[in-house]
């Protein structure tokens, strides 16, 4: 039984934590400008009642309402971190104990802002004074004749039900006339919304954890996973190509279930080539590499990242993991390659073209007995040809136009999955700041979808995943095309690379 002195000490400690947290919020408030506060208020629509929102005259008022509603707290300030990240005030994240990179990696799991709210905010950022005047003129019969900012205009249209998350027709009509370069954002939103309707989002019910820690699975998640196991074990896809959220899975035989209950999940190798002796650098690749490392470590793998790997070093890495003793007690093996590439091959940092086949064949059952009958997953961010697809702020991950047969790149051995960033013959693209579409999408989908086929014994530790589904056939090819990337003519962005 706690004594009155113990209770007093606990109360004093809580009060000190609250005081320190409010001091941090005060420090953030002092560095925010009027427009920043307006942006925060707009993003908080739906989280704070409208009558209270109208009374907000500073960020401190906003923070008070968020704390009262337990949307942010001493133990969990992440929503505020998400808000600051969204309005691009990343230097203020330090007050909350976060970095920009940490927020980016946690957003797919812990983010609270709806895609519609983020769409409207992104659209507002693209509206300049001339665009705003034109929009107000077109919508003169729908809006009051008062001074409006892009945010207040969009907020008014939403409040008066002219637009909502299921109806963006008015936005499409207006931007088609005034700012067609913003239509791509609306198209992306509609595509993502349609995908979410096919695959419902994971329940975001969470339990509070110490600041900086990530709640991976909740009790409701675990209950749902266990209930789904019976259905999953009975899945036997026909011999057909099945499109799944932008991916194509080629099922050649009956599906089998791989064991995921050994001593450890396995090794994940990440080859991250940024600088080359004779080819262009690949800015943005470190973002991909860090996200892959975080996600696969979260999934229970031991991740090993290698930067700027020459042909000689690649050979040593392949030899090391071909005969690694840890495979015997592992469930799976993952090999990720981020580099320049050609049809069926990838470049080392010293400019040597390496066939994908020569990399994968090190891990066949004959060459690597420790991985026999275990899934071997290869994810490759690199071009597969010279054909150009549209992009934003990108560089192409290709150099010369030498061609190899893609079929020659795939080993004739079971239990392989090959994931490519683009379809054969085409370039893949990489945002020079935010990383590649393929790898970022892969990481986000692994976080969202992998748990739906696993059984876990605890709320924060990966264990006993028994239902990783794959195909017992010569190969299971997983190909993702980024052909639907943003328009290169979108204002302020460049297509920053091309095959010679």
Q: Any idea which residues carry the catalytic annotation?
A: 340, 383
Both tokens assigned to 316:
């040593």
Helix axes 100-110, 437-449, angle to 10 degrees: 50
Cα distance between residue 454 and residue 450, in whole Å? 7
Helix (H, G, I), strand (E, B) or coil at 476: strand
User: Which letter does DSSP use for residue 203 in this model?
Assistant: P
DSSP 8-state symbol, 295: H
Q: Give the span between the Cα atoms of 281 and 178, in whole angstroms.
A: 37
- Residue-wise over 223-260: b if at least 16 C-beta within 10 A, else e? eebeeeeeebeeeeeeeeeeeeebeebebeeebbebeb
Could you tell me which residues are beta bridge partners of residue 258?
468
240 CB-near residues (< 8 Å, 6+ apart) = 251
Instruction: Using alpha carbons, select from 432, 413, 446 the residue that is nearest to residue 303.
Output: 446
Query: Contact, 331 vs 465, CB < 8 A?
Result: yes
Residues 377 and 419 sit within 8 Å (Cβ to Cβ): yes
CA distance 81 to 185: 23
């Amino acid at each position: 039984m706690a004594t009155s002195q113990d209770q007093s000490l606990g109360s004093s400690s809580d009060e000190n934590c609250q005081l320190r947290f409010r001091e941090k919020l005060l420090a953030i408030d002092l560095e925010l400008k009027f427009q920043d506060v307006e942006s925060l208020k707009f993003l908080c629509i739906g989280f704070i009642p409208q009558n209270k929102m109208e009374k907000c005259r500073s960020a401190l008022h906003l923070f008070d309402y968020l704390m009262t509603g337990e949307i942010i707290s001493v133990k969990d300030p992440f929503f505020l971190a998400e808000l600051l990240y969204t309005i691009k005030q990343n230097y203020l994240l330090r007050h909350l104990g976060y970095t920009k990179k940490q927020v980016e990696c946690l957003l797919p799991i812990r983010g609270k802002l709806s895609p519609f709210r983020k769409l409207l905010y992104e659209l507002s950022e693209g509206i300049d004074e001339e665009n705003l005047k034109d929009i107000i003129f077109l919508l003169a019969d729908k809006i009051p004749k008062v001074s409006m900012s892009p945010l207040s205009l969009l907020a008014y249209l939403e409040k008066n039900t002219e637009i909502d998350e299921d109806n963006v027709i008015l936005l499409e009509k207006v931007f088609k006339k005034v700012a067609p370069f913003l239509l791509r954002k609306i198209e992306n939103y509609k595509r993502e919304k349609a995908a979410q309707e096919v695959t419902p989002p994971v329940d975001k019910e969470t339990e509070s954890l110490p600041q900086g820690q990530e709640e991976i699975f909740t009790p409701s998640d675990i209950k749902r996973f266990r209930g789904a196991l019976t259905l999953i074990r009975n899945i036997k896809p026909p011999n057909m190509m099945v499109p799944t959220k932008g991916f194509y899975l080629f099922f050649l035989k009956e599906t089998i279930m791989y064991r995921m209950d050994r001593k450890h999940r396995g090794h994940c190798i990440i080859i991250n080539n940024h600088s080359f002796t004779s080819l262009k650098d690949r800015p943005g690749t470190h973002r991909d590499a860090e996200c892959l490392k975080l996600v696969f470590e979260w999934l229970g793998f031991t991740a090993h990242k290698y930067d700027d790997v020459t042909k000689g070093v690649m050979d040593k890495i392949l030899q090391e993991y071909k005969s690694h003793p840890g495979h015997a007690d592992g469930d799976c093996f993952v090999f990720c390659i981020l580099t320049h590439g050609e049809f069926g091959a990838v470049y080392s940092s010293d400019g040597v073209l390496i066939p994908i086949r020569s990399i994968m064949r090190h891990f066949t059952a004959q060459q690597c007995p420790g991985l026999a009958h275990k899934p071997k997953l290869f994810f490759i961010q690199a071009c597969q040809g010279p054909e150009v697809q549209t992009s934003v702020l990108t560089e192409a991950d290709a150099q010369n136009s030498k061609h190899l047969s893609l079929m020659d790149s795939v080993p004739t051995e079971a239990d392989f999955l090959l994931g490519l960033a683009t379809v054969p013959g085409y370039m893949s693209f990489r945002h020079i700041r935010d990383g590649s579409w393929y790898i970022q999408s892969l990481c986000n989908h692994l976080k969202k979808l992998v748990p739906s086929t696993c059984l876990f014994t605890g709320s924060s530790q990966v264990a006993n995943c028994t239902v990783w589904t794959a195909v017992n056939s010569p190969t299971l090819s997983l190909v993702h095309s980024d052909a639907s990337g943003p328009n290169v003519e979108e204002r302020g962005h460049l297509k920053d690379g091309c095959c010679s």
